[in-house]
Amino acid sequence: MPHSFWCSPGTPLGSGRKRGTLCQAIERSRGGITTKILALTDALGNLVDFCLMPGPAHDLRKTDTLVRDLSAGHLLADSAFDADWLRNDLLERDIIPIIPPKSNRKFPATFDKETYKWRHLIENYFGKLKENRGIEMRSCKTD
């Protein structure tokens, strides 16, 4: 799988993880064994690229690999992606970040609220995934 960057080469087998989950995007948290999907869609809500991460990992952890080759006019994301390095990277590539600031920011960044309303398309995509879980997603423990 091209986006399986979680396991570093040369990780010893006795690293505390069970067999079969060593290089998988799966991890135990208080809620159980979880996996997180980080998805990139086009303007119509169709999937462009995705990567899997362990559930407790922060969303920004693999964002740079997902948007590395992105060419677009705007990037709409929720406030979990509010980071200065991401905003600066997008602006250098002439991509306008439409990301609401986190509530704890001392100097909140501005964003276009009207354009941000179109982010419902990605939420619709995840709703379709949850609706058709048996068809579109495998329900096994590894990626």
Distances (CA, A) of 45 to 41, 63, 76: 5, 18, 11
46-92, pLDDT tens digit by residue? 888 888 887 777 878 888 888 888 888 898 988 888 989 999 999 99
Name which of 1-10, 69-78, 97-106 the model is least confident about.
1-10
Q: Which residue has the tokens 């809500």?
A: 45
Long-range contacts of 116-120 (CB under 8 A, 24+ apart): 116/76, 118/43, 118/76, 119/76, 119/77, 119/78
Question: Would you list the DSSP string of 60-128?
Answer: GGGHHHHSTT---SEEE--GGG--HHHHHHHHHTT-EEE-PPPTT-SSPPP--HHHHGGGHHHHHHHHH
Which pLDDT score, from 0 to 100, does residue 78 have?
87
Which pLDDT score, from 0 to 100, does residue 129 have?
78
Which pLDDT score, from 0 to 100, does residue 31 have?
67
Mean pLDDT (whole number) for 112-140: 76
CATH topology of domain 27-133: Nucleotidyltransferase; domain 5 (3.30.420)
Which pLDDT score, from 0 to 100, does residue 107 have?
87
Delimit the domains of the chain by residue range: 27-133
